[in-house]
């Protein structure tokens, strides 16, 4: 695999704070290429041989805005088995419903745009259903749970200009810990 030539913006870039826009179909060839590049990058970042060779930080999700492109598109690459991956390409997502139950990632969330250690709880819905469009513009619905639900919410926040660090109470980073389930 060849490492794609993409530049992930760090949190100091103000464009990460903008709200991304609805995508129209058909997708441009540029957008299709960027989606493919993101899939390749996220996949390689989760394979030891590549993350060692290229000094990559492992990541499972990326939104277009992290490359400076304010479009409602994100990609998630989930490792479902030893170096076997499932890709989600999500365009124009909308929340349909979500659980009342909240969860948080015990070891903390990470983001390829946040290059520092951040402690604290980011409350997320344990399960949710979203509608979105696939790469052909077809309407789809997906129900996600647990870590994938967290990943989807993290990426949907990016489309609204929100980073996970914004959701941590600065004065009390572990606030309401008892009201949520750790995953
Ligand atoms: Ni992120």
Q: How many domains does the chain have?
A: 1
Confidence of residue 8 (pLDDT cuts 50, 70, 90): very high
- pLDDT at res. 32: 98
Burial grade of 116 (CB within 10 A; 0-12, 13-18, 19 or more): exposed
If you average pLDDT over every residue of the chain, what do you get?
A: 97
Whether 152 is in a domain gets the answer yes
- pLDDT at res. 123: 96
Whether 138 is in a domain gets the answer yes
Domain ranges, residue 118: 14-182
Whether 6 is in a domain gets the answer no
Could you tell me the CATH number of the domain that includes residue 68?
3.90.45.10
> 2 CA to middle of ligand 1, Å?
23
- pLDDT at res. 104: 97
Tens digit of each residue's pLDDT (9 = 90 or more) over 98-114: 999 999 999 999 999 99
> 155 CA to middle of ligand 1, Å?
6
Whether 141 is in a domain gets the answer yes
Catalytic residue chosen out of the listed positions 11, 82, 83, 155: 155
- Catalytic residue flag (residue 11): no
- For residues 20-42, give the mean pLDDT: 98
Instruction: DSSP for the chain, please give it.
Output: -------PPPTT-GGGGSPPBPPPSSPPHHHHHHHHHHHHHHHHHTSHHHHHHTTPPP-SEEEGGGGT--BSEEEEEEEEETTEEEEEEEEEEEEEEE-S-EEE-TT----TT--S---S---EESEEEEEEE-TT--EEEEEEEHHHHHHHHHHHHHHTT--GGGGS-SS-TTTTGGGSEE-
> 57 CA to middle of ligand 1, Å?
12
Whether 36 is in a domain gets the answer yes
Whether 5 is in a domain gets the answer no
* Strands 102-104, 73-81: pairing kind: unpaired
- pLDDT at res. 183: 96
- pLDDT at res. 107: 92
> 46 CA to middle of ligand 1, Å?
15
> 113 CA to middle of ligand 1, Å?
6
Tens digit of each residue's pLDDT (9 = 90 or more) over 78-87: 999 998 999 9
Q: Smallest Cα–Cα separation from 70: which of 113, 29, 31?
A: 31
- Taking a 5 Å cut-off on Cβ, the residues next to ion ligand 1 are 111
Tens digit of each residue's pLDDT (9 = 90 or more) over 113-157: 999 999 999 999 999 999 999 999 999 999 999 999 999 999 999
Whether 7 is in a domain gets the answer no
Whether 9 is in a domain gets the answer no
Tell me the pTM. 0.96
């Amino acid at each position: 695999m060849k490492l794609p030539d993409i530049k992930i913006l760090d949190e100091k870039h103000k464009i990460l704070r903008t709200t991304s826009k609805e995508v129209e179909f058909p997708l441009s060839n540029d957008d299709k290429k960027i989606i493919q590049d993101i899939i390749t990058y996220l996949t390689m970042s989760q394979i030891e041989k590549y993350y060692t060779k290229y000094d990559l930080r492992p990541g499972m999700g990326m939104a277009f805005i992290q490359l400076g492109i304010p479009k409602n598109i994100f990609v998630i690459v989930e490792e479902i088995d030893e170096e076997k991956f499932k890709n989600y390409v999500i365009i124009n997502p909308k929340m349909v419903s979500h659980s009342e139950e909240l969860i948080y990632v015990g070891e903390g969330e990470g983001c390829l745009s946040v290059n520092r250690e951040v402690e604290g709880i980011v409350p997320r819905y344990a399960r949710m259903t979203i509608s979105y469009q696939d790469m052909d513009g077809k309407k789809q619905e997906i129900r996600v749970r647990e870590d994938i639900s967290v990943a989807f919410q993290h990426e949907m926040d990016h489309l609204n200009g929100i980073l996970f660090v914004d959701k941590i109470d600065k004065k009390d980073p572990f606030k309401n810990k008892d009201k949520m389930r750790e995953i």
